[in-house]
Amino acid sequence: MASAQVKFEAKVSKKKLGINERLRIDFEMNEDGDNFVPPSFADFDVVGGPNTSVSNYSRNGKRSYSKTYSYFLAPKSRGNFTIKQATIEIDGETYKTFPITVNVTAAVNAPNGNATASDVASENIHLVAEVSKASPYLNEAITVVYKLYVSKDTGVSSWREKDTPRFNDFWSQNIDVKGFPVHTGEYDGEEYRYVILRKTVLYPQKTGPLKLEPLVMEVTVEVPSNRRDIFGRALLTRVPQMVTAGSRTINVKALPEEGKPSDFKGAVGNFDFKVSTSKTQLNATESLQAKIEVSGSGNLKLFELPKLTVPSSLEVYEPEHQENVRTNLSGMQGNISDTYTIVPQYRGKYPVPTISFSYFDLKTESYKRISSADIVIDVLEGPMAASATTENAADTTKQTVNTSTNTFAFIKTNSNWTPIKSEPFFKSTGFWSLLLVPFLAIPLAIIVRRKKDKRDADVQGNRIRKADRLAKKYLSEAKKALGQKESFYLALEKALHNYLKSKLNIETSDFNKEKIESLLKERQVSTEVVSEFISILENCELARYTPITQVTMQNDYDKAAYTISLIDKQLR
């Protein structure tokens, strides 16, 4: 009966909280015990505790006893996390609490306070996200600058990013910030010091309201206390503080349909366009290079260049794509080009048709088209594709020259010679070899059979090998499907999932980003490689709903192949 009355249970302040909030967990018992063992709190940082409180009183002859161990926790990331069991010994018996599942969401606007946080710190430090334009066009560059404002009466000794925003509906690139110089500015009409922590350039890939996730940072703030040193100066107290730049909504405008050219490929900005050749005079079977180039400022990496069209008598090879693009707070600047190699087969003059390039000019908010100049390729020497009479002849006749594909047809490349004297097959080397082969094949067949039985019995190994083959199969299918967005990303996602099946021994039903990240880190894969792998999976999900260029698909394929090779090298 005494054992049945013992209670030992875990209670949390809330089961759903933002990543910038604190969680309190209490382990309560109604009898005093020994050897209390808390859970590991692997998914949280312990920012306070354990604090112990004891209540022991009697009323109307009845004794009441309560003992509590309290912890204050800060979540490390978003997701669903389980706080495992705590144990304690009471009267020689071991008691355990029930596991508790907690849901950690994105940062909230009004987080609960830190038990040790100071109101002075929260009022004198602010994280602000400054957006260059709240209503851009589709594929127009905008910048987000994150500034940490600190009042003159306080200071900051350290900071770290707690939750980094994921710009799912944007093409994004971070701009390096060097040195973190301190500037002076105003916040809410008061003079503050501020530091620029992060600069990001964004190109929206969808229209309508798009949400920017907040940046959450954990900052150690130095605030003056009531204590003084021997010189009368206030002593500083270090206070951990969670700050967040509130989420922002960007209203992305669609490009106007009125006046949109038929050859518009999505270029937005201010560009120059030209088509040039390395030479205009050459002989047949010699080569020249034709270069299609777009330069200027805008979304240079997010559209395709116009294609080169030439007469069928000119042999054209696949172009070599080159990018010389730098990204700063103004967006992408530089040039991109496709270089084609052309080889003429016959003598004559070949005009290269005019190529046009259209883009949306943000300054005038209108479409513009640039056309290339006419180019004529003059092939001086080589076979004639046709013969013609003189210019003064009344009629003109042409005769096609059919070239032979087998230039050396008159030279025999094989013979049907037979030996003058033939040797008998009986007792020859081939005779004895064929006679011994069946006897040598028997032990080999036994070994092969045993290995096959052993392999068939290895159900786990067969499943892993099958998943590995499927990963290679889908990766090859993804390469074949380059240029077909849905087929490519479906095959790439299947390849990544089958690769995880073979390497981590998990089922498809268990797939989630948190578990994949945890398993890879347990197998000693570096954090950068794990983040790259997760970003590829996110790209596969995002690509189904956003326009994607062939260049982007090629980059995602190369990144997937490279990341898989890195995981193979690091996996333990």
Q: Quote the number of domains for the chain.
A: 4
Tell me: do 241 and 125 sit in the same domain.
yes
Confidence of residue 430 (pLDDT cuts 50, 70, 90): confident
CATH of the domain at 337: 2.60.40.740
Whether 368 has a pLDDT exceeding 90, the answer reads: yes
Identify whether the C-beta of residue 178 lies closer than 8 Å to the C-beta of residue 225. no
Identify whether the C-beta of residue 280 lies closer than 8 Å to the C-beta of residue 377. yes
Confidence of residue 319 (pLDDT cuts 50, 70, 90): very high
pLDDT in tens, 216-233: 888 888 877 666 665 656
pLDDT the model gives residue 234? 63
Helix, strand or coil for residue 497? helix
Q: Is the peptide bond before 50 cis (omega within 30 degrees of 0)?
A: yes
How far apart CA 65 and CA 251 sit, in angstroms, is: 59
Residue 366 lies in a domain: yes
Tell me: do 123 and 248 sit in the same domain.
yes
Tell me: do 228 and 285 sit in the same domain.
no
- Of the residues 381, 404, 435, the one at which a domain ends: 381
pLDDT in tens, 134-149: 999 999 999 999 999 9
Tell me: do 100 and 135 sit in the same domain.
no
DSSP label of 306: P
Tokens of 519: 């398993």
Confidence of residue 442 (pLDDT cuts 50, 70, 90): confident
Whether 561 has a pLDDT exceeding 90, the answer reads: no
Tell me: do 121 and 100 sit in the same domain.
no
Tell me: do 167 and 228 sit in the same domain.
yes
pLDDT the model gives residue 491? 83
pLDDT in tens, 6-33: 888 999 988 998 888 888 899 998 888 8
Residue 146 lies in a domain: yes
Residue 544 lies in a domain: yes
Q: Where are the beta strands (DSSP E) in 281-425?
A: 281-282, 288-298, 314-316, 320-328, 331-344, 348-352, 356-361, 366-371, 375-379
Start-to-end C-alpha separation, the chain: 52
- Of the residues 349, 365, 381, the one at which a domain ends: 381
Residue 372 lies in a domain: yes
pLDDT the model gives residue 114? 42
Query: What phi-psi label fits residue 139: left (phi over 0), alpha (psi between -120 and 50 degrees) or beta?
Result: left
Question: Mean pLDDT over residues 263-277, rounded?
Answer: 93
Burial category of 407 from C-beta neighbours within 10 Å (exposed 0-12, middle 13-18, buried 19 and up): exposed
281-315: b or e for each residue (b if 16 or more CB lie within 10 Å)?
ebebeeebebbbbbbbbbbbbbbebbebebeeebe
DSSP label of 233: P
34: nearest Cα among 83, 76, 94: 94
Residue 522 lies in a domain: yes
What share of the chain in percent tops pLDDT 90? Answer: 27
Please list the alpha-helical segments (H only) found in 9-124.
119-124
Tell me: do 129 and 248 sit in the same domain.
yes
How far apart CA 120 and CA 113 sit, in angstroms, is: 12
In which residue are the tokens 């909030």 written?
21
pLDDT the model gives residue 6? 85
Tell me: do 279 and 376 sit in the same domain.
yes
Tokens of 394: 């009344």
Higher pLDDT, 189 or 339: 339
How far apart CA 273 and CA 277 sit, in angstroms, is: 14
550: nearest Cα among 493, 497, 505, 488: 488
pLDDT the model gives residue 471? 64
How far apart CA 315 and CA 343 sit, in angstroms, is: 5
Beta bridge pairs of residue 88: 95
Tell me: do 232 and 152 sit in the same domain.
yes
Q: Highest mean pLDDT range out of 86-100, 372-386, 495-509?
A: 86-100
pLDDT the model gives residue 411? 56
Which range of residues forms the domain containing residue 31?
A: 8-105
Burial category of 265 from C-beta neighbours within 10 Å (exposed 0-12, middle 13-18, buried 19 and up): middle
Residue 344 lies in a domain: yes
- Of the residues 356, 381, 406, the one at which a domain ends: 381
Question: Mean pLDDT over residues 185-207, rounded?
Answer: 90
Tell me: do 534 and 503 sit in the same domain.
yes
Please list the alpha-helical segments (H only) found in 18-95.
none
Least confident of 86-90, 112-116, 218-222: 112-116
Confidence of residue 512 (pLDDT cuts 50, 70, 90): confident
How many CA atoms lie within 13 Å of 391's alpha carbon, on the beta-carbon side? 0
How far apart CA 220 and CA 241 sit, in angstroms, is: 6
412's CB contacts (< 8 A; 6+ apart) are none
Q: Where are the beta strands (DSSP E) in 60-189?
A: 62-75, 79-83, 87-90, 93-96, 100-105, 125-131, 142-150, 155-163, 170-175, 182-187
Query: How many CB atoms are located within 10 Å of the residue 476 CB?
Result: 12
Tokens of 82: 């389980």
Residue 196 lies in a domain: yes
Q: Where are the beta strands (DSSP E) in 345-471?
A: 348-352, 356-361, 366-371, 375-379
What are the phi and psi torsion angles at 227 (to 5°)?
A: -85, 155
CATH of the domain at 188: 2.60.40
Mean of per-residue pLDDT scores for the chain: 82
pLDDT the model gives residue 509? 63
Residue 199 lies in a domain: yes
Question: Mean pLDDT over residues 285-313, rounded?
Answer: 91
Confidence of residue 474 (pLDDT cuts 50, 70, 90): low
Cα separations in angstroms, 395 against 349, 399, 515: 21, 13, 80
How far apart CA 218 and CA 242 sit, in angstroms, is: 5
Tell me: do 233 and 282 sit in the same domain.
no
Tell me: do 245 and 289 sit in the same domain.
no
